Amino acid sequence: MAAPCAIMLDVDDKMNKVIAEGFSQDHVEILQCLTKSFREQDFRTGVEKGVFQNLWQILSKLSVEIRDFDSKKEGAESLILRLQLIAECFRSLRNACVQCARNQSLLRDMGFIEVSAEMLEFLSELELENTDCVLEALRCGIQFLGNLAVGNQVCKDDIWKHTFPHLFLKFLDHIDEKTSAYCSMVLYTCLDAEKVGDIILSEEVAMKVVSLCIKQPELDWGVLIVTQHFLKSSELVEKMFARLNNQERITLLDLVTAQLGEAGEATEESGIPVRLAEFIASCFEEHCKAVLTLVSDSSPKHEEALTVMRLLDILCEMTSDNKAFMDLQNYSELLKTTVELLKEVHFLGKANRNIFTTVQNFSDMGAPSHPVVGFKAQLIRLIGNLCHNNADNQNKVRELDGIALLLDNCNIDSNNPFISQWAVFAIRSVMDHNLQNQEVLKGLERRGVADDSSLREMGFRLEDRDGQLLLKPVSKETQ
């Protein structure tokens, strides 16, 4: 290929030739040469405005001809040629924007955003037997808008003005995965808090992003849109959740979990507002009884039960001494719902053999993929979290007769990994500096209700010291 400086000498002449003559395959090669030239930084930064003016004329001419195309008078080859030229124009423009704010501003000022958006909308409605050329033009056009937006707020706002919501609705769930992926890149690049407000008014776009996360789970753009933008708006998530099906809800809740894990202990960095945490708690309260239907329905794909499990997992993470969400301890109905649900699950498991029955033989355990594997353990974990350093909740557990319930779940259960450890933690949280609860526990022990043999098997014992009942490690001498 000739050096960039040599190309600059005759680029205007060649492009004028494209504008003046009827389109041909030679013109595709001219534009391909220009596309390659724009890969060079020196060429990009030094290109004259006239080159873009020529591209504008070519694209405008193509727009008119493709709209007026008559298949009865012209063959399919003529339409395919025009689509190839459109794709190559978009490739050149895409490359011209890379790390070049000057070119981005020039292209915006010349009206390329509006004409490109109109072209993309028209192309999406073309019906051809051979769709490859249309898809190539769509992909390149969307990539151009994405590159035009990068690092340029004025361009982002202008692209949003001409594309939201109609083009995102068309392309986020496009049959072509690359087209939908590139569209998600444009959406992510343009988004900010103000634009999330627009999505709240048109949540259909948000619904399509969640759907994209299911269809292309390896695609980063969809995940980033949800975790870095959508989850910061409780209002948007609440509106979405009401319309999502269970599979989509599970995907959304998995992304909440991922965002909490990404933030680690610095939960304020997750960007998840307290109002959203309270909404998740209210959803758990509303839907948690769905799990009870699994007593008679053993299907491991019960999506509503999976949704409840995800809600519970998130609440456990949020209340694990994460200061940003510890207000959930004051969400009075949450603890009551959790204790009462644990009662129902525990008693159902004792009434007859089902998925909630304690299993100490690991060969008899339920399928690892079953929705309620680990459910009782997580309920107990949540009770412990909500009672940690909280006297009101400690008292509420006692009032709900939850102390004996916790003691009765200290046994190993292969359907609930670590349930005995979480039970020990919960008992400690409920007893800590609470004399009334300790008296209840001593009374249970005297009546034989609180047999501590299970605790001893895990290395703990109950000790009465100066009227206070303590949970202590078992020493070698006392074993």
Tell me the pLDDT tens digit for each residue of 254-271: 999 999 988 665 545 678
What does the pLDDT read at residue 453?
Answer: 56
Q: Would you write out the chain's pLDDT as a tens digit for each of its 479 residues?
A: 444 455 555 777 788 878 888 888 989 999 999 999 999 999 999 999 999 999 999 999 999 888 887 665 677 788 899 999 999 999 999 999 999 999 999 999 999 999 999 999 999 998 776 789 999 999 999 999 999 999 999 999 999 999 999 999 999 999 999 999 999 999 999 999 999 999 999 899 999 999 999 999 999 999 999 999 999 999 999 999 999 999 999 999 999 999 998 866 554 567 899 999 999 999 999 999 999 888 776 554 588 889 999 999 999 999 997 888 999 999 889 999 999 999 999 999 888 888 888 887 655 555 556 778 899 999 999 999 999 999 999 999 999 999 999 999 988 888 898 999 999 999 999 999 999 999 998 887 655 444 455 556 556 666 666 555 556 666 655 54
CB 472 within 8 A of CB 424: no
Instruction: Indicate the residue type of 254.
Output: D
Question: 3-state secondary structure string, the chain?
Answer: CCCHHHHHHHHHHHHHHHHHCCCCHHHHHHHHHHHHHCCCHHHHHHCCHHHHHHHHHHHHHHHHHHHCCCCCCCCHHHHHHHHHHHHHHHHHHHHHCCCCHHHHHHHHHCCHHHHHHHHHHHHHCCCCCCCHHHHHHHHHHHHHHHHHHCCCHHHHHHHHHHHCCHHHHHHCCCCCHHHHHHHHHHHHHHCCHHHHHHHHHCCHHHHHHHHHHHHCCCCHHHHHHHHHCHHHCHHHHHHHHHHCCHHHHHHHHHHHHHHHHHHCCCHHHHCCCHHHHHHHHHHHHHHHHHHHHHHCCCCCCCHHHHHHHHHHHHHHHHCCCCHHHHHHHHCHHHHHHHHHHHHHHHHHHHHCCCCCCCCCCHHHCCCCCCCCCCHHHHHHHHHHHHHCCCHHHHHHHHHCCHHHHHHCCCCCCCCCCCHHHHHHHHHHHHHCCCHHHHHHHHHHHHCCCCCCHHHHHCCEEEEEECCEEEEEECCCCCC
pLDDT tens, position by position, 27-60? 999 999 999 999 999 999 999 999 999 999 999 9
Q: How far apart are CA 240 and CA 234, in angstroms?
A: 10
